[in-house]
Amino acid sequence: MVLRFTQQILLLYLLLSAFNANAQISFTAKIVPAQINKDEYATLRIEIENGSNISNIELPSFKNFNVLSGPSQETGMSNVNGVSKTYMALSYVLQPKKAGSYTLGKASAIISGKKYSSALLKISVKNEEGQSAQQQQHPSMQLPLSIFDDLPQPSQKLNPDYFLKPGESIPEKVNKNMHVVLQTNKTSCFVGEPVVATYKLFTRLESQSKMAKAPSFNGFSVVDMLLPDNSESKIEKLNGREYNTYTIRKSQLFPLQSGDFEVEPASIDNEVRFVKAGAPDNYGASDVLVQTVTLSNKPLTVHVKPLPEQGKPASFHGAVGKFLIDTKLERNSFTTDEAGKLIVTIAGMGNLHLLNAPEIKWPQGIDVFEAKMKEEIDPSHVPEAGTKVFEIPFTVSAAGNFEIPAIAFSFFDPATATYKTLHSKPIAFMVVKGTGQSKFDLDTLGRKREISFSEKMFTNRHWIIAVLALLLMMGLVVWQRLDAKNKRKQLILNAKKSIAEAERAKVEKLETIANTPQNPLAKTEACLYSPDCTQFYTLINTEIKSWLASRLLLPVQDITLKKIITGIDKAGVDNVTAIELEKLLQEIEWQLYTPFERTEAMNHLYSRAQAVLQTIRLQIEG
């Protein structure tokens, strides 16, 4: 159900702006390959061609499969002689839970008010060993995890926890000394704003460990970060005890829609070795006991806030972060025999990998071809930083002077919770009448064979005039290319400067609240994950009111709901947030007078509280 709803929003979010209403709509879904072995993978691909106003997406059933990766999105467009074609596709990598013949059903969608359905999707899973999951070479397979086969030993010198005393329970000893933990840098964010999820193994034992099941990250677009060198462990504390820790996976999760989403657990298979107590220093195989155990972390809920509708520009198409834009032409003068190329560069930090080329209002008489994209993105920076370059070829059939209007590019800055719009400069260019023998191919835009200079001299004398004109402009063209190169370098420098400024602003903001704990609900969080704590509602009530009292400059000893609502109104907090805070405090107060019962509702209440406090902090601190 979560996957279905996710895709309904995702497809709308990725919808291409370029669309020809007269083009034929196509909706297809395929599973490749249709027959696999039980330890292999298959890819489901859903493709929509020339579709707009897409809604009510229905996916086939995944109940007999684990979703290892997806959705992976792909989009494209072309415009030849005024005829536009667009397509978009979603892919999932599926792993069967067991052998058998399965009918997944059909995929369907409402496109421009009409329902389209795919053919019935079927797959056969043979009860045989094939290529291993890690070695299978499937063209569209992209494992979402850097799988490790063997973790290094925590220490070559045996510590007391390695020994198994008479009467000790191996499962209890493992549960006490090994944990898989999920850590995130935040539990509340905006759509498109990344959450860093880090899976770690905390261990005080000797083991060989490997990934058994990777989290699917439904509802997020995932960018995996480089893992540190695991040749040596780090020492970290957990619940007051020191452990050797290993980073299993670290990813930036970019939420694709608003709501509460559970970051799923990872499962680790561990082969744990114990030495019998009293064994000699030169102990042998008979003194060693081996226990195989699978460990998983507790799931964590992330509250994703919707982007505000108020003030959303028409040129906003999902960019979240801080960006710069630059545009230029490969050449500002060419003939009708040649293809021009518009180069659009977006630089900065944010959800770069999800960005498409901005909307361009092309002059009449220009045929536009599919954009080619190049990117240089640093996934180790949070959020990811770098550049994305769109090279858009086009042709002009008639000579004349043309101008590409300024391009508007809008993005949402989560640091200030505001939209910002950038405008490129208009670009003027000249097209000279050619000979009618094109130097490009309409299908590939590849260069054709060049006609020799002598042929052109004697068969196309008017071409000489164009050459002379171009020679006169050559100095200007060379200067413009050098200037464009310098602009590109400056653009990168500006992007780095923007990133540095954002980091400095972040540090300054943290310094202003140095006397306040980083997590205003730290005690509540500790209680939430402690099986013995029964003071959850008392703690969350106290910590919320204490935090609000410090922000609103109210005396904490006699703070009331009425004073809180009055205070946040004076501080300029919007009505929607004020109503949500009032409802939250009323629910907590009601729970204070009812018998305590540990339920999943506590996790949801904690996430809501974090989201409300973060929203209030952004609105108060600007």
Q: What is the CATH number of domain 160-305?
A: 2.60.40
Structure tokens at 535: 């003071």
Specify the DSSP class assigned to residue 417: T
* Rounded CA separation 506/501 (Å): 8
pLDDT at 198: 92
Q: Which of 32, 385, 6 is nearest to 221 (CA)?
A: 6
Structure tokens at 204: 């005080």
Q: Which of 107, 103, 105 is nearest to 122 (CA)?
A: 103
In the chain, what are the domain boundaries?
Answer: 2-126, 160-305, 316-509, 522-621
pLDDT at 151: 36
Query: φ and ψ at 113, to 5 degrees?
Result: 85, 0
Which residue in the block uniquely carries the two structure tokens 């070829």?
393
Q: Is the peptide bond before 33 cis (omega within 30 degrees of 0)?
A: yes
Under DSSP, is residue 368 helix (H, G, I), strand (E, B) or coil? strand
* Rounded CA separation 254/134 (Å): 26
CA distances, 295 to each of 55, 56, 209, 432 (Å): 39, 38, 10, 70
User: What are the E-state strand segments in 191-282?
Assistant: 195-203, 206-213, 220-224, 234-238, 241-255, 259-263, 267-276
| Neighbouring residues of 204: CB distance < 8 A, sequence distance ≥ 6 | 154, 159, 161, 177, 178, 241, 242, 243, 244
pLDDT at 580: 87
Angle at 254 between CA 251 and CA 260, to 5 degrees: 105
Q: Which amino acid is at 402?
A: F
* Rounded CA separation 479/389 (Å): 22
Structure tokens at 514: 């140095």
Could you tell me the mean pLDDT of each successive run of 10 residues in the chain, 622 residues long?
Answer: 41 39 76 84 83 76 78 54 62 84 88 86 83 38 32 47 82 88 93 94 87 84 74 79 89 93 88 82 75 88 94 94 94 92 94 92 91 88 92 93 95 94 94 83 51 40 53 60 61 63 56 56 87 88 90 81 84 84 88 80 87 85 64
Q: DSSP secondary structure string, 459-478?
A: H-THHHHHHHHHHHHHHHHH
* CA 223 to chain centroid: 6
Strand partners, 254: 221
* Rounded CA separation 612/328 (Å): 44
Structure tokens at 312: 């959303």
pLDDT at 494: 64
Strand partners, 29: 46
pLDDT at 13: 39
* Rounded CA separation 528/535 (Å): 9
* Rounded CA separation 491/385 (Å): 13
Q: Using CB atoms within 10 A of its CB, is residue 438 exposed (0-12), middle (13-18) or buried (19+)?
A: middle
Topology adopted by domain 2-126: Immunoglobulin-like (2.60.40)
Structure tokens at 433: 């009448």
Q: Do 160-305 and 2-126 have the same topology in CATH? A: yes
